[in-house]
Amino acid sequence: MLNIQHLTKRYGNTVAVDDLSLRILPGELYGFIGHNGAGKTTTIKACCGILNFEEGEITINGISVKDDPLACKAQIAYLPDNPDLYEFMTGIRYLNFIADIFGIPADERQKRIRNLGDRFDLTKDLAQPISAYSHGMKQKLAIISAFLHDPKLLIMDEPFVGLDPVSSHELKVLMRELCDKGGAIFFSTHVLEVAEKLCDKVAIIRGGKLICSGTMEEVKGDGSLEDVFLELEADE
Amino acid sequence: MMLKALLKKQFSELLYGYMKRGIAKPDEKGNGNKGKLVLFAVLMLYVVGVFVVVFYKIMNELCPTLCAFGLQWLYFSLAGMLATALAIIGSIFLVQYQLYEAKDNDLLLSMPIPTSYVMFARLFTLYVQNFLFEALVFVPAIVVYVQCGQAHMTAAVINCVLLLLLMPLFSLALTCVLGWLVALLSSRMRHRNLAIVVFSLAFIGGYFYVYSQYSTFLKKILENSEIIGQKVKTLFYPFYELGRAGTGRVDALVFFTLITAAVSVLVFLLLKANFVKLATAKPNEKKAVYKEKTARVSSADRALLKREALHLAKSPVYLLNGALGSMAMVLGSIALFWKRNGLLSFLPALFPEDPAYAGVAELVVTLVVCFACSMNAITAPSISLEGKSIWIAQSLPVPAEKVLWAKLRLHLLVSAPAALLFAGVFAMLLDATGKMLALMFLTPVLFILFSGLVGLTCNLKMPNLKWNNEAYAIKQGFSVLMTILIVIGMLGLLIVAVRFLLDFLTAYDLLLIFDAVMVAVSLVLFQWIRTRGAKIFSTLS
């Protein structure tokens, strides 16, 4: 589904991501872990085609992000680390805008908006301007918009930040449902407990370099993910 | 120490707002910023220069006559009133953004900082801004007074310098009260944005009316100076004392100082008592409840255009700064049609029937229409306005050029109908026919296209996505300033051509050449935006 090969991204003389290679298969829920400034967001943005990179190749279902970014974007949904949405729109207008761009028919979008809105308890607030939303409500709206067009690949940067426990649980259920349908999810998180319980595979990045990756069992062995992460950090 | 840190923060925020927000980051080699800063400083000097020249001219007309009548004090009273009015106009919205609705009010109030310190730091930067506005009027007033060579000059100059420091306190106190009233009223209104637009339009209309009647008002002031002097004394007593102080009277200076101190302390105490409540108040908006209904499906192109239109409609500051030309053209068309009989009798005197100058009237009104179009700057801040939410447009499966064309289409849709209406009314009044009639309609449309493309190009080259309030992207955006200068410069070229080439070329030829140049430049810009510009947009952050 998502294939990252030898990705390198530099900002001036600083190497943000250094020769990173990862492969996410259909049905996989892939966690991406690292300390602040490790290169997670840079990698995620490069995968979404919104950040140029100098070396390497990223493909989504065999299509190169560099050569045909639009075909890739049509298959993915991206959720950034901060839900900065259009404050001049209401929630429902924003969802309709996304649905228009992805060409979702009226009856289908209505059904999906109702379903997702109810699951995140946001339906009643959809007529309000986004500027009146709290951080958590904006995060929920961003999540709904990401799931709205039924993406094959979901790329998320810290998706659980700002969510209440119920919504957090609902997101985990939705993530699993998407993967069970054959989709894939690649997401970064600092909440190691969530990653440990939720992910099929995990990758740990430090200073732009991949230091460990594999199935959850392979990475953590008999210990916890937190122990492994702290151990790897201490090795540095 | 604490106060010093707060003042430092306030001033760095202020300088950042004026200097850096409008200027894009330098490239990785550090090129670009210095040159842009110099250009920005030159442009600011130019704007300040224009204000100073205008007020110098006004003062130069007032001073000799009023001094001849022995009404030196009225001269300073009027200068003081004008300076105070300018300071209030210039800073009323700043008071809202920097005092009542500052983004870091919650943060600072949660810290162990006395409320009075937070207020003082904010008020002090506002005082400095008020001072700058007042100096634009009062410094030329002092210069003109010195040139007139009146009695007690040394005392007058010393008093005026002290007044220059005191007056901003007075205007700041008034602005704080007015700003609070505006914030209070707008928070209780249902159609807040509409109210702001209507209020601002009325204000701008009033300003243009006063400006257009400037000579008449000046004449009336000079003719009725005794009566006006009496009115100022009874109705605007502080300005009476200000005027007397300006002539060098120490007792009046003491009086004005006491009045200013009393007003300032009163406002400060009132603010201090209510600051926490004011700074943390939320708009009293009724919560809308969502009712499910079938959505109207749009194509991607239409959805992008709707997004741009909604942004314009929902933002009073964008609407007023981006589409002022269209509003002026619609109102101008109505006014022209209303006053058509008077104009029809006036036009032959302005444009005499002479075969050598055939089509000049049409050319001049086309220039007027284009000038009105130049007041529309929808594309120039449109990329900066994406702000932190630019990731949405970048991650959507639509080509970046489509996002950019949606911005251009909105510029055309908002500007062209109003320009065609305005040109149509002019064409009817001039009874234009044939080739010139066609150019009267074609030129403004090409000019709108050209200005829209210039706006997009400038904003792609100088984007500013890191703003806290979109007013910064619109009002202080470097790209907006550059666009206005280029677009007005293009009209300037046509004026120069008319001035020097009309003896060799017909009005029709001149307009045709102007159109051809615009088409050529537009094609180059179009191609650049489609290729390089789209790439820049895709990875902006």
pLDDT of amino acid B280: 73
Identify residue B52 by its one-letter amino acid code: V
Cα B443 from Cα B363, distance rounded (Å): 10
**Residue among B303, B391, B399 minimizing CB distance to A100:** B303
The model's pLDDT over B251-300, given as tens digits with 9 standing for 90+, comes to: 999 999 999 999 999 998 888 888 777 777 666 666 788 888 888 899 99
B103 contact A CB<8A: no
pLDDT of amino acid B28: 45
B107 contact A CB<8A: no
pLDDT of amino acid B111: 81
CA distance B536 to chain A (A): 10
- The angle, 0 to 180 degrees and rounded to 10, between the axes of the packed helices A91-101 and A106-119 is 130
A191 contact B CB<8A: no
**Cβ neighbours of A69 in B, within 8 Å:** 538
A73 contact B CB<8A: yes
How would residue B29 be classed by pLDDT, with cut points 50, 70 and 90? very low
pLDDT of amino acid A176: 93
A54 contact B CB<8A: no
Other CB atoms within a 10 A radius of the CB of residue B192 amount to 15
User: A201 to each of A81, A216, B63, how far by Cα in Å?
Assistant: 21, 5, 83
Out of B101-110, B128-137, B333-342, the most confident range is B128-137
The whole-number average pLDDT for the span B310-322 is 89
Taking 70 as the threshold, does the pLDDT of residue A52 lie above it? yes
Angle at B295 between CA B290 and CA B301, to 5 degrees: 125
The whole-number average pLDDT for the span A102-114 is 92
**Residue among B310, B397, B539 minimizing CB distance to A74:** B397
- The residue of B106, B290, B536 whose CB has the most chain A CBs within 10 angstroms, and thus the best one to mutate to test that interface, is B290
Strands A2-11 and A55-60: antiparallel
A131 contact B CB<8A: no
**Cβ neighbours of A16 in B, within 8 Å:** none
User: B315 to each of A83, B311, B354, how far by Cα in Å?
Assistant: 20, 6, 49
B57 contact A CB<8A: no
Taking 50 as the threshold, does the pLDDT of residue B480 lie above it? yes
H-run or E-run covering A214: strand A209-215
Phi first, then psi, for residue A144 (nearest 5°) are: -60, -45
Taking the mean position of all CA atoms in its chain, how far away is CA A64?
19
pLDDT of amino acid A57: 93
How would residue B315 be classed by pLDDT, with cut points 50, 70 and 90? confident
pLDDT of amino acid B120: 86
- List beta partners, residue A157: A188
pLDDT of amino acid B3: 80
Cα B377 from Cα B410, distance rounded (Å): 11
**Least confident among B8-12, B80-84, B514-518:** B8-12
Cα A145 from Cα B519, distance rounded (Å): 41
Two structure tokens written together for B531: 């290729």
Contact between chains at B303 and A106 (C-beta distance less than 8 A): no
Inter-residue contact B146 to B158 (CB < 8 Å): no
Taking 50 as the threshold, does the pLDDT of residue B22 lie above it? no
Contact between chains at A93 and B310 (C-beta distance less than 8 A): yes
Two structure tokens written together for B384: 């900066």
Query: Residue B59 burial (CB < 10 Å; 0-12/13-18/19+)?
Result: buried
B299 contact A CB<8A: yes
Query: Residue B380 burial (CB < 10 Å; 0-12/13-18/19+)?
Result: buried
Taking 90 as the threshold, does the pLDDT of residue B528 lie above it? yes
Q: What is the DSSP letter of B323?
A: B
Taking 90 as the threshold, does the pLDDT of residue B504 lie above it? no
User: A221 to each of A214, A217, A225, B92, B257, how far by Cα in Å?
Assistant: 11, 5, 9, 64, 79
Taking 60 as the threshold, does the pLDDT of residue B21 lie above it? no
pLDDT of amino acid A36: 87
Q: What is the ipTM of this complex?
A: 0.90
pLDDT of amino acid A236: 60
Out of A176-190, B330-344, B457-471, the most confident range is A176-190
**Least confident among A135-139, A149-153, B351-355, B448-452:** B351-355
**Residue among B295, B310, B395 minimizing CB distance to A109:** B295
- The residue of B284, B305, B396, B540 whose CB has the most chain A CBs within 10 angstroms, and thus the best one to mutate to test that interface, is B396
Two structure tokens written together for B248: 């060098």
B31 contact A CB<8A: no
Q: Which residue's structure tokens are 């489509």?
A: B402
**Residue among B303, B395, B539 minimizing CB distance to A97:** B303
Query: Phi-psi category of B328—alpha, beta or left, where left has phi over 0 and alpha has psi -120 to 50?
Result: alpha
Inter-residue contact B246 to B152 (CB < 8 Å): no
The whole-number average pLDDT for the span B212-223 is 77
End-to-end CA, chain B: 36
Helix (H, G, I), strand (E, B) or coil at A49: coil
B298 contact A CB<8A: yes
CA distance A216 to chain B (A): 30
Cα B383 from Cα B293, distance rounded (Å): 32
A91 contact B CB<8A: yes
pLDDT of amino acid B24: 46
The whole-number average pLDDT for the span B16-20 is 58
Query: Residue A191 burial (CB < 10 Å; 0-12/13-18/19+)?
Result: middle
- The angle, 0 to 180 degrees and rounded to 10, between the axes of the packed helices B33-68 and B214-223 is 30
The whole-number average pLDDT for the span A179-207 is 90
Other CB atoms within a 10 A radius of the CB of residue B191 amount to 9
How would residue A225 be classed by pLDDT, with cut points 50, 70 and 90? confident
CA distance B467 to chain A (A): 13
Q: What percent of chain B has pLDDT over 90?
A: 39
pTM: 0.81
How would residue B17 be classed by pLDDT, with cut points 50, 70 and 90? low
